[in-house]
Amino acid sequence: MNGNYTNKQRELIDKLLHSIKQSKAKRAVRFLRQPLKTLYVRLFRAAKRSREVKARTFWGEKIGVIFPERVSTLIFKNGYFEDDVCLYMISFLKEGMTFIDIGAHFGFFTLFGSYLVGVKGRVFAFEPIPDTYHQLQKNITNYSKYPNIDMYNCAAYSENIKVKFYDYGLEHSAFNSIFGMRGTDIPFVTNEIMVEARKIDDVLRKKGINNIDLIKIDAESSEIHVLRGITQTLMSCKPKVILEVGDFALNQVPKSKETITYLQQMGYSPYEVHNGAIVPHVIRDEYEYGNLLFINNNCSI
């Protein structure tokens, strides 16, 4: 796939690479390029106050983000986050396709998916936490270019039940999870709430959707439960899957290797981004935070 990009794909990759290059420049260089933006971020971090601000994405559209939330700050400063996920989406989402965003957060990838699939495509976004979902709604209403997005205020899961979530508030919403905080000892204020959880298979069947092209799963250590709820979709549609990985020593959470094995048993192989190219991934015993792409063995890359 890496040598067969369309003009639109190449243009988006060039924009992404430009944003990545700028984000990795030395701090002094970044400050000289955008002093007001840098000072703005520092001001709100120091004030310890949350506020919604507009950010511009690397593909040129706007999104509302919440300072000083971690993902929001990266989008505001750089126009992107998780460049590997961006590259997977650019490579495999085309006009007219259907994309599922599980763990949509404030809608960065939802909006990007909507832009990529266009007016003839469809996007399904799932976000379980009410406050985070409200921000997602605002962004879709205010900034979506196409009316092709269906939003669900529920978790994607292996059963249709209610589950307890740890809600760390908008300022730390990237860490909201069924299993608790990962990768940090910072004592965030925690609310425990019950949220609706649904099997994606059942949602799609009820909507009459029988063709899915790409699924992005960022479920904060609940990935195996999400996969068990989309088994029929994986078998029938054979969509490509972007999966967050990372071993954070949380109770009742299997290692990423086990989740990868689950997908392998369903006929999928893992890929990763290496030096700007999508290449086969060599499975490891332990994983730091990252994102892998899975492609059904009966489909071409």
**pLDDT over 90, % of the chain:** 72
Q: Which helix (H) or strand (E) holds 62?
A: strand 62-67
- Inside any domain, residue 301: no
Peptide linkage before 68 cis (omega within 30 of 0): yes
Residue 183 in tokens:
């990768």
Residue 29's pLDDT is 52
Percent of the chain that is helix, strand, coil (3-state, to 5)? 40, 25, 35
Q: What is the pLDDT of residue 301?
A: 75
Q: Considering only CA atoms, which of 204, 254, 224, 242 is closest in space to residue 109? A: 242
Tally of domains in the chain: 1
Q: Is 114 domain-assigned? A: yes
The alpha carbon of 59 is separated from its chain's Cα centroid by a whole number of angstroms, namely 16
β-sheet with 155-156: strand ranges across: 155-156, 191-198, 161-167
Q: What is the pLDDT of residue 51?
A: 86
Q: Contact at 8 Å (CB) between 114 and 59?
A: no
Mean pLDDT of 278-287: 95
- In this structure, what CATH number is given to the domain that contains residue 132? 3.40.50.150
**Residue 121 included in any domain:** yes
Give a yes or no: residue 2 inside a domain: no
Residue 21 located in a structural domain: yes
Assess if residue 132 is contained within a domain. Answer: yes
Instruction: Check pLDDT > 60 for residue 121.
Output: yes
Lowest mean pLDDT: which of 51-55, 159-163, 189-193?
189-193
Residue 215 included in any domain: yes
Mean pLDDT of the chain: 89
Residue 209 has pLDDT above 80, yes or no: yes
> What does the pLDDT look like over 40-77, one tens digit per residue?
666 656 556 678 999 999 999 999 999 889 899 999 99
Which residues make Cβ contacts (< 8 Å) with residue 297, sequence separation at least 6? 267, 268, 269
Range of the domain at 259: 7-296
pLDDT digits (tens, 9 = 90+) for 9-48: 999 999 999 999 988 875 555 545 665 665 666 665 655 6
Which pLDDT value is given to residue 221?
A: 78
DSSP 3-state assignment of 191? strand
Q: Is the pLDDT of residue 250 over 60?
A: yes
pLDDT value at 94 more than 70? yes
Q: Is residue 210 part of a domain?
A: yes
* Inter-axis angle of helices 108-117 and 83-92, nearest 10: 20
Predicted TM-score (pTM) above 0.75:
yes
